[in-house]
Chains A and B, each alone.
Chain A
Amino acid sequence: MSLSERLHPGINLAGTDPESHEAAEEVLFGFWIFLMSDLVLFAVLFATYAAMSVQGIAEGPGPAQVFDLTAAFVETLLLLLSSFAFGFGMLAMKYRESRRAVLGWLLLTGGLGAAFVGMELHDYYVMITQHAAPPQASGFLSAYYLLTGTHALHVSSGLVWMAIMAVQVVVFGFTTPVKLRLMRLALFWHMLDVVWIGIFTFVYLFGVAS
């Protein structure tokens, strides 16, 4: 195998931009390791939630009483669609290097992501005002807000990052550093999908079913 075939950083630029592809190896590998460390954080939060959603309910409401499965399902669709849009954005960057196309896809991704965060905030609002379920109510709710809140914070920082990258695409065009940053942002965004799938399954579906 040639060097460029062995490299497996993210989206494969070997055919269209071998120079950036070589440069991607070190920074993208580093970013994978960062994501791994980030996932350890989420694993710890999941474990905490697993314990507290059973033993930490105390006098407060239980999972089935406060979760709105429909909203969570719509949120899931929003986030997955945003990842899908980002995928198209990355393909546009790889094959067409068209600023307009990439910016358009980024805008769609960001819009869907923002809608996701907005819906989640609305969920919180409903839980606090209609179900008397703020994070201070019980250990279970503390763990719920921390787990989903950390995810929402990640998505929000991803949105800020996306806005900055849009500016950089305009200012610098598709230079190697800009491409590599977009590739890392894409990995970050897809990882948040994976984490959300875990949250949807484990927190919402399992919480409402049990």
Chain B
Amino acid sequence: MRPDPVPLSRAQRLALTAASFLLLATAAMALGPLIAGSGWWWLCAFIAGGVLFSGAGLRALRAPASLVPVLELVVLLLLLTLVFGGASSIALIVPTPETFDTFGGLMSGAQRTIEQQSVPAIAVPPLLFALALGIGLLAVVADILVQTLRMPALAAAPALVPILVPGFIIEAGAELPALVLTAAAYLLLLRVDVRVRRRARLLAGDEGEDAAVIVPPKRVPIVSTLGASLGLAAVGLLTASVLAASTPSVSTSLLLGSPSQGTLFARGVSPFIDLGRDLRRPEARPAFHYFARDADRPYFTLLTLDRFEGEVWGVTDTAVDGDNTVDAMPLPDGLSEEVETSEHPIEVVVDEVRTTWLPVPYPASRIEGLSGSWFWDPGSLAVRSVDTNTGGQRYRVTRLEVTPTVAQLRDASTEVPAELEANLELPEEMPPIIADTAVVVTAGTTSKYDAAVAIQSFLRSSQFDYDTEAPVAEGYDGGGFDVIAQFLETKSGYCVHFASTMAVLARELGIPSRISLGYTQGSPTQERVDGVQRVEVDSHDLHSWPELYFEGVGWVPFEPTPGRGSVPDYSRPGAGDGTGAAAPSTAPITPGASGRPDLDPDRGLAGQGGGGATADSWWQRGLSVVLVAVLVLLLPAMLRLGQRWTRRRRIAKGERPADAAWDEVIATARDLGAGGDDVETARAFAATAAEREAFGEAAALAALTALRDAVERERYGPETGSPPEASELQEQLDRVRAALLADAALSARAHAVFAPRSLFDAARRAFGERPSVDA
């Protein structure tokens, strides 16, 4: 390929720019499943369009070709300043040092929000900034490929970036319509390029007798370009699918940055494992403290696990709804007016806990004083942030205390609302011991409430030991079926095991259940003003507990873990046998079951283990990084293989076969560093090559000469006679390649495979070329 001597006109360059823009804009659509709303896409289109069309404008003004990408970067900076610079900029677009500080803040904010948001993410400003910056840089790359290097086929590379990202993050990857549209836009770009070139050649070429010779387009280049681009797309899709397949349980954090130290459940990869590790931490770290009236000692929920898959408990992945602001939270699900409720304000000050989930009592009616954007999840009313975390927060939460009577619970309808069917789901392959236990424990109970109380009593009985070490030591940490089965055998574990066992047993009995993760009520301090006491909560107060659903009351917490937390009144055996009105649900009743911190048997429990699970994810993370690296390193080799394959197909199909064969010979020689310059004629190359030792063999030399004659006739000869036999050409090509390879050192051959020079030639030539002047 020699550099096209025909400079393109402004209109032609503009057509190419428009096609590049279309490609990037459609490729950006692939990010759709990751980000909520559509405003972000318009921003991406604005930035990409601004960069690409300013590049076209600069070229129209005859800016030096090598300078255009640099100027495009400047344009990108100006656009970013316009959109994100705010008051810090001069004349809206000129950045100041302050603007760069703002950008720095946005970048770190973006990193945080990527770590913390689940998909689809809310398009908060830091995320938008990262998107705009990314798409802007891709636009510059695409422009270099399409306009400077004149290799539009390679524009697939920047377009693949937004397409591949969803593959890393969600299992489904990018949506099919976006893929199809992007592929169409890509083909359009190639088509525009082919047309533009042909027209440019015709305009620049002689209008004389030979004009007619040029007009009939030969189909070969289009076919081979198409082949190359399809190959490229195939490689991209393969990469995406391999990554998606190899990292099924890998969450976003794995590829887009890990949660920083001390961030709890940032991505919810395995909250149970994190919880166990925190409980075993030798020294408790202060999590937060709160100020509340004496009787007000609620549990603080961080998040609620409602999905059980046999192996793990997880959070149903729901999109954050931007309307669910925390200043007005809804009434909890299933709560009827008959149940008595009361509101209690609690002032919470966060100490060291860093998580995107806000510790709030369930249910809460509103939260005030938070910084950042916080939203509640429907159902669980768990509160999470999309752009910040709990660090340094001080907020006032109004807790809605629900005090059901035992009668209300016992009389609750056995009907399960359709939307809670999921909370009854149990995977098929349940170990028999679970069903057996459920039957034995609840024998003789008449209502679901009684059954729940029976399960709680069973788990709190002296048969079970609280132990944070045993499950880790014996390898059944977690909340899956196998773990529960072993826990029921061993009868030793900690809150995770008690909570998940009770939740599963409840589901087995037809009671919708879920598991809340959070903190117990904590330890009161001596600090007290006007009846409001300061209560400290630390990492050893981390806890999980089951919540069961009773129609008319809603989600009701239970406490099956012996020695931890406090048992709600309504769940104490025989609680409803008296009058009916229950005492405040979380008030500590008996010292033995109160879980008062000073009596808590968990205190001081410490261990060194617990790193196994994270090591596992680190291993996976390392593996995927290595995999990506290997794929990237192998890309040139794969592209070269694809090129060779395309040429062999051309030979087989008789599309300028000798040309294809000779191109392959030259490319092989280039790869091996054995000549093959573009200012060298076929004859000159053959003459130089013939002096090599490997061509001392008559057959190899004959093949080389035959191939040379064939390509000369095909390229420069009159179009008469039959084309050479494909099989013969193929054989000659193989012979010549073998001779060239045999002549090369091992290192040269390795270089040829992994870093084929011939692939980079086009780029090299394009850079060495004098900037073409527009017509």
Do chains A and B stick together as partners? Answer: no
